């Protein structure tokens, strides 16, 4: 017997710690970055000047702004995403970069980061008026994070993400604020191929007795700046259908990076 759309929305939204716990009320203004200790890339020139990280203010200016992607609206990430990695914890250190990327946080070790959200703007289409409460939630929302690094920190961040996809294939435990959830599976996914390198992965999440939900994340490096993209559709949480990361959003954001 089918439950009402409102009941299904309430149940699925309430148990999805990977989404709701990461984007509501678990911010921490404290800094928790550490010095990156990765070895320099063997192919880099020793005479080339070391890359210098952009500041958070400079990254804010590189985030997508309203009107830059047709059919999408842009919202500041200040009140929707965690501000500190202290708010996002896993039970496997190798899985930390995956959880951080999902939360719009820097997947590597840096203090320089900024984030926002980019959602489908259905008011700009013929389906501006939703037929039900569930339809109103049927919107793909992408959380975008930018981070910048000194030296080879960006390359090391990408290696940490790639390594995490392999090391965490069997899943990991995630705690965000007071909420806890279980990622049961991590698998590589097809990346956009944009920037200097890109990595994508999917995560299956136990919905606390409501089945399993699949989420996609992509991480793209351009120079010493890393962009992360994580997309969720709240109306689809209980359907088993994964929301795809909009190619237009990734393309537009990467194009703005230096």
What pTM value is reported for the model? 0.80
**Confidence at residue 94, expressed as pLDDT on a 0 to 100 scale:** 97
Calpha distance 7→211 (Å, rounded)? 15
The residue-averaged pLDDT of 229-253 equals 87
Task: Concatenate the DSSP letters of all residues of 30-96 into one string.
Answer: S-------PPPPTTS-TTSPPP-PPPHHHHHHHS--TTSSTTEEEEESTTTS-S-GGGEEESSGGGH
CB 62 within 8 A of CB 256: yes
Q: How far is CA 182 from CA 103, 153, 175, 199, 205, in A?
A: 15, 29, 9, 22, 6
**Which of 133-142, 178-187, 229-238, 247-256 comes out lowest in average pLDDT?**
133-142
**Confidence at residue 146, expressed as pLDDT on a 0 to 100 scale:** 97
Calpha distance 64→190 (Å, rounded)? 23
The CATH code of the domain that includes 216 is 3.40.1000
Please report whether residue 84 resides in a domain: yes
Residues 6+ apart with CB under 8 A from 186: 95, 98, 164, 165, 168, 169, 170, 171, 172, 201, 202, 203, 204
The residue-averaged pLDDT of 161-166 equals 98
Please report whether residue 70 resides in a domain: yes
CB 209 within 8 A of CB 216: no
Residue 12: pLDDT above 50?
no
pLDDT top residue among 226 and 138: 226
The residue-averaged pLDDT of 99-113 equals 94
pLDDT in tens, 49-79: 678 999 999 999 999 999 999 999 999 865 6
Mean pLDDT, the chain, rounded, equals 80
- Closest CA relative to residue 58, chosen from 168, 149, 190, 154: 149
pLDDT top residue among 210 and 172: 172
Q: Domain residues for 118?
A: 5-25+52-256
**Confidence at residue 173, expressed as pLDDT on a 0 to 100 scale:** 95
Please report whether residue 40 resides in a domain: no
- Closest CA relative to residue 253, chosen from 190, 198, 202, 203: 198
Helix segments in 84-202, DSSP class H: 96-102, 133-137, 153-167
Instruction: Quote the DSSP letter at residue 11.
Output: H
Please report whether residue 137 resides in a domain: yes
Please report whether residue 41 resides in a domain: no
Please report whether residue 117 resides in a domain: yes
The residue-averaged pLDDT of 195-211 equals 90
**Which of 25-29, 125-129, 149-153, 206-210 comes out lowest in average pLDDT?**
25-29
Torsion of CA 235, 236, 239, 242, to 10 degrees: -170
pLDDT top residue among 235 and 167: 167
Q: How many structural domains is the chain composed of?
A: 1
The residue-averaged pLDDT of 181-206 equals 96
Handedness of CA 49, 53, 59, 63 (dihedral sign): positive
Helical (H) or strand (E) element with 240: none
198, two tokens: 């890109």
**Confidence at residue 10, expressed as pLDDT on a 0 to 100 scale:** 34
């Amino acid at each position: 017997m089918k439950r009402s759309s409102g009941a299904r929305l309430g149940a699925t939204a309430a148990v999805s710690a990977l989404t709701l716990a990461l984007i509501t009320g678990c911010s921490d203004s404290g800094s928790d970055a550490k010095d990156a200790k990765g070895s320099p890339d063997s192919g880099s020139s020793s005479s080339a000047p070391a890359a210098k990280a952009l500041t958070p203010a400079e990254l804010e200016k590189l985030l997508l702004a309203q009107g830059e992607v047709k059919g999408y609206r842009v919202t500041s990430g200040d009140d929707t995403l965690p501000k500190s990695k202290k708010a996002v914890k896993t039970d496997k250190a190798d899985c930390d970069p995956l959880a951080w990327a999902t939360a719009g946080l820097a997947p590597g070790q840096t203090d320089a980061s900024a984030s926002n959200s980019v959602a489908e703007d259905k008011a700009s289409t013929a389906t501006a008026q939703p037929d039900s409460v569930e339809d109103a939630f049927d919107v793909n929302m992408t959380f975008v994070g930018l981070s910048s690094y000194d030296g080879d920190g960006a390359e090391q961040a990408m290696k940490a993400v790639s390594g995490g996809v392999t090391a965490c294939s069997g899943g990991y435990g995630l705690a965000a604020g007071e909420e806890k959830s279980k990622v049961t599976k991590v698998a590589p996914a097809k990346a956009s191929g944009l920037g200097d390198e890109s990595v994508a992965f999917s995560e299956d999440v136990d919905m606390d007795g409501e089945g399993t939900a699949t989420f996609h994340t992509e991480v793209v490096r351009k120079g010493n700046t890393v962009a992360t993209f994580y997309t969720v559709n709240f109306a689809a949480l209980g359907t088993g259908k994964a929301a795809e990361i909009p190619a237009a959003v990734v393309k537009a954001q990467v194009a703005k990076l230096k």
